[in-house]
Structure 1
Amino acid sequence: MVTLFRNRRARALAACALSAALVSAGSAEALAASPTPTPKPSMSRAAASVTVKANPTTVKAGRSVRFTGRTTGIPTGTSVRLQQEKNGKWTTLKTSTKVEKGKSFLITTRPTSKGTHSYRVMVGKTHSGTVTVTVQ
């Protein structure tokens, strides 16, 4: 009977030692194998952008031109300003509007001088590409 207890005790001790060895070896291996944690990218806003189209692109002097467009990464309610290129410099016109709920906008002007005019819109520090309007 004494030998039975010794065998059980020896088996239990061996099982504990083996378990401890496996646990410590597994955690040491896991620590050694795991790379340095890299920070996850934060959810940042998409880059701000704005597009614009003119309609019509050819107009008689004094008639309205509608500039419509869409924005990305710009909050609703942000001011939209129309600019015209004059002598190589962009001049902000008095007309303005705001970015609407669907991230779109509509702004109008009435060019009075004949010729080809270049326009763009500014939303904050972001500007659109240039559109050309011919005034007859």
Structure 2
Amino acid sequence: MALTQNTRSPQVMPQRRQLTVYGLTWSMPLVIWQLVFFVFPLIFLLLISFWLVKNYRMVPGFDTVNWIKMFSKGYFWDTYWRTLGYAAVATVVTSVLAFPCAFALAFKVSPKVRRWALFFLIVPFFTSYL
């Protein structure tokens, strides 16, 4: 038997999925949702960022003054760096608190206590829905 010959059985070979009309039909509502509420508003904001400001009103036109002002003023950069610092601190604090809690829930706590602990951890996320 040659070394270059594939010796795997057909059952082990991964099967390729085919795009079907059924699958595309079920994915279209999500695609439309993303387009309407994310992609189109993002494109609109990008386009109006090139508009002119006259008498405190946005006037359709094409000008890069807004972008030049944003990248040349120092206080914009100060705000960006401060925001990045806040995000880094929040990431570190969250990681330091979350990993020991997750380890304890996964390996140290009994299943009955785990169920209640997960419940009390998840309940605060429901505040925006109630």
TM-score scaled by length of structure 1: 0.18
Higher normalized contact order (CA 8 Å, seq sep 6+, divided by chain length): 1
Choose 1 or 2 for highest CA Rg.
1
**Structure with more of its chain in strand, by fraction:** 1
**Structure with more of its chain in helix, by fraction:** 2
TM-score scaled by length of structure 2: 0.19
